Amino acid sequence: MSHADSALYVSKELGRNTYSFYSDTFGDETGKFIELSQELRTAGSENEFELYYQPKIDLVTSKITGMEALLRWIKPRGGLLVPPTEFIPILEEIGLMPEVGDWATNEVGEAMGLNPGQIGVNLSERRFSSLAYLKCFPIDTIKVDRSFVRDMLVDKEDEMILDAILAIAKLLNFAVVAEGVETKEQCDALKEKGCKLGQGYLFSRPVRRDEMTKLLKKLLL
């Protein structure tokens, strides 16, 4: 495929009124983009998407406060699990996210016995660093990235950033969920700082739908 053809193909995948330029790294990136975008267009009809569930835990009472549904893509060849950071941006780029979002909402509704208004599904693995997003979108919960939780006990800057996030959330009356809580020490430190909700391997890994009921029974005891 020529350089011009590669750029043209990507533009077509992205939809009308777009254009692309070729660069030295464009070849490898284009090949991967084309391959994944083609496979994603049939992934839904081939039942390759699956939702995993991870509980949100009240760090003070250790009780479950909710479940978060996480989108996963499992390729049929070898059961390869594609990282969300690789395929979710492509879903957004080629315009399939609304369709996949509707599917996920229906799946969660069936699993939980809920109506669409009661469902929260996390289909995004992107991180937004600008505080402007706090006023641009109807946000009521802030998630603290696992990197800050992981290093807050050994890196003073990460601890200061975490403290700042908690302070802003308190001023704006937002709930805060700390991701990636893996140790009791992290959990205790978060509680001392006033963070009330957490997720992570300390409580549970993301699990399939058939494991979710067992997990709920265990955590609700």
pLDDT single digits (tens) 69-96:
999 999 887 788 998 989 999 999 999 9
CB contact at 8 A, 99 and 47: no
C-beta separation of 193 from 162 below 8 A: yes
Q: Which CATH fold would you assign to the domain 44-220?
A: TIM Barrel (3.20.20)
How far is it, in rounded angstroms, from Cα 49 to Cα 54?
17
- Residue pair 104/69 in contact (Cβ under 8 Å)? The answer is yes
For the chain, domain boundaries: 1-43, 44-220
Mean of all residue pLDDT scores within the chain: 83
> What is the helix (H) or strand (E) element at residue 72, kind and residue range?
strand 64-74
- Rounded Cα distance between 123 and 102, Å, is 11
Residue-level pLDDT at 114: 67
Please state whether the predicted TM-score (pTM) of the whole model is above 0.85: no
Q: What is the pLDDT of residue 58?
A: 96
Do residues 30 and 10 lie in contact, with contact meaning Cβ atoms separated by under 8 Å? yes
Give the pLDDT of residue 122. Answer: 74
Identify the band that residue 103 occupies on the pLDDT scale cut at 50, 70 and 90. Answer: very high
Report the distance separating Cα 9 and Cα 1, nearest Å.
Answer: 10
pLDDT of residue 204: 93
Q: Which long-range contacts (CB under 8 A, 24 or more apart) does 30-39 make?
A: 30/6, 33/90, 34/9, 34/10, 36/82, 36/86, 36/87, 36/90, 37/13, 37/90, 37/93, 37/94, 39/75
* Distance in angstroms (rounded) separating the CA atoms of residues 218 and 212: 10
Burial class (CB in 10 A: 0-12, 13-18, 19+), 91: buried
Q: How far apart are CA 93 and CA 37, in angstroms?
A: 9
Phi, psi at 179, each rounded to 5°: -90, 155
Query: How would residue 15 be classed by pLDDT, with cut points 50, 70 and 90?
Result: low
Instruction: For residue 53, give the nearest of 98, 112, 113, 126 by alpha carbon.
Output: 112
3-state SS, residue 51: strand
* Res. 99 pLDDT band, cuts 50 70 90: very high
d(CA 141, CA 170) in angstroms, rounded, equals: 11
How crowded is residue 127: how many other Cβ atoms within 10 Å of its Cβ? 9
- By residue count, the chain amounts to 221
Tell me the pLDDT tens digit for each residue of 196-214: 999 999 999 999 998 988 8
Task: Name the band, by pLDDT with cuts 50, 70 and 90, for residue 31.
Answer: confident
For the cut 50, the answer to whether the pLDDT of residue 26 exceeds it is no
